[in-house]
Amino acid sequence: MTRGSEKQPNNQHNVQNLNNVKQDIVPEPAPFTIVKSFAARLRYNQSKNEIPIELDNPIHTKRQGLPAMLIKEDDYNIKLAESCKYTLVGKFTNTMPKVDLIRRSFIRQTQLSRGVKIAHFISRHVFIDLDNEFDYVTVWTKQRMTIEGQLMRIQAWNPDFKPEEETPLVPIWIALRELPWHCYNKVLLTAILSYIGKVLYLDSPSSQKTRGSMARVKVQVDLTKERPPHVWVGFKNSDPNKGRWQKIQYEGIPDYCLYCKHQGKMDNRNDKPDETSGQTQGKKNFIGQQQGVDNQIHPPQEQETADQEELWQVQKRKQNRNQEQPTPRRAWRPVSPQHRGTKDNRQHDETPSETQEYNDNNNVEEGIINK
């Protein structure tokens, strides 16, 4: 007990000495800091994420008395558009919901692998910026979505985008029937269909080779360009006649009006008359487009088959048109025995009067003849 009591005052003395030492030390002043505003921090983050683009020196001039700036066309359509290669346009048919509601509903329906940015453009249009090609193809091939009860059509963006026009670029399915079994390869199909459009992906039976009758490929096509019905697959540095014609079958091609630049319509009311020929311009463009497709060179062995198929389709359309004419039909209704007896009695009662009237008319005619 005596030893513990002797050590306790020494400990208290040491604690007092440490406190005195701490009080003698003068604290160093805090370093000078700059408090940045929210706008300054935002500009700093933008400068970090901004990708530098080297453009040729622009030319400053005037046009019609107003300032003008001229740059290279490749800089405008390629370099500047590189940052928007995964951009889509959402167009609402009617009223557009609030942007916050659009973002939440869009993310809930698409289940993207990366992020997305949705920005309001004008009254019925929004820009949809995606982060990778997989999400871009997934969303674009939907073609339409319902957000807060409003229909939104999804379109591809390009540098020449105008809100009053619709792009002619659409994704469609293309079927390649009787394709050789070893040709079920995306790299080869991309080369075969390069003249038609950009290959997006193959359907599951084609990629997994569980269907051998045909290969179905999702392709981005331009509705204003020709679509050949066949593609020749040959060999380099070999006999030019050695190869095969591959038939191309298009599925679900939407109409596109070349005058009003809208999809899903081909109406003569939207056509304006041509001053030279008197024929409507939009109709003439559409006819020229179809003739360009029909005038493609068919394989020699299939020329007669194509003509017969076209004749058969014309006859089939005429038959369908005749069958669409409404024919009068009689509705069958059940009649009770009591109602049937009443009806027969009524007809029986009316028969003598009708017979008497007929006889009177005959007698009058005979009297006139005798006179």
pLDDT score at 331: 54
Q: Return mean pLDDT, the chain.
A: 74
Domain boundary among 122, 156, 190: 156
In a domain, residue 315? The reply is no
23-71 pLDDT, tens digit each: 556 666 655 555 667 667 666 666 666 667 788 888 999 999 899 989 8
Please check whether residues 206 and 279 belong to one and the same domain.
yes
In a domain, residue 138? The reply is yes
Count of structural domains within the chain:
2
Q: Mean pLDDT across the stretch 79-103?
A: 90
135-180 pLDDT, tens digit each: 999 898 888 899 988 999 999 998 888 888 888 889 999 999 999 9
Does pLDDT of 370 surpass 50? no
Please check whether residues 177 and 132 belong to one and the same domain.
no
Please check whether residues 219 and 151 belong to one and the same domain.
no
In a domain, residue 265? The reply is yes
Does pLDDT of 2 surpass 50? no
Selected residue with higher pLDDT from 34 and 289: 34
In a domain, residue 1? The reply is no
**d(Cα 330, Cα 174) in Å, to the nearest integer?**
46
Does pLDDT of 16 surpass 80? no
pLDDT score at 199: 92
Domain membership of residue 105 as a residue range: 83-156
pLDDT score at 301: 47
Q: Mean pLDDT across the stretch 87-96?
A: 90
In a domain, residue 161? The reply is no
pLDDT score at 189: 93
Confirm whether pTM is higher than 0.85. no
Please check whether residues 262 and 145 belong to one and the same domain.
no
Q: How confident is the model at residue 325 (pLDDT cuts 50, 70, 90)?
A: low
Query: Any idea which of 50-54, 102-106, 109-113 has the lowest mean pLDDT?
Result: 50-54
CA neighbor of 255 nearest in space, from 240, 233, 270: 270
Cα–Cα–Cα angle for 88, 91, 97, rounded to 5 degrees: 110
In a domain, residue 302? The reply is no
CATH code for the domain in which residue 147 is found: 3.30.70.330
Q: How confident is the model at residue 309 (pLDDT cuts 50, 70, 90)?
A: low
Q: How confident is the model at residue 237 (pLDDT cuts 50, 70, 90)?
A: confident
Query: Any idea which of 7-21, 176-190, 206-220, 307-321 has the lowest mean pLDDT?
Result: 7-21
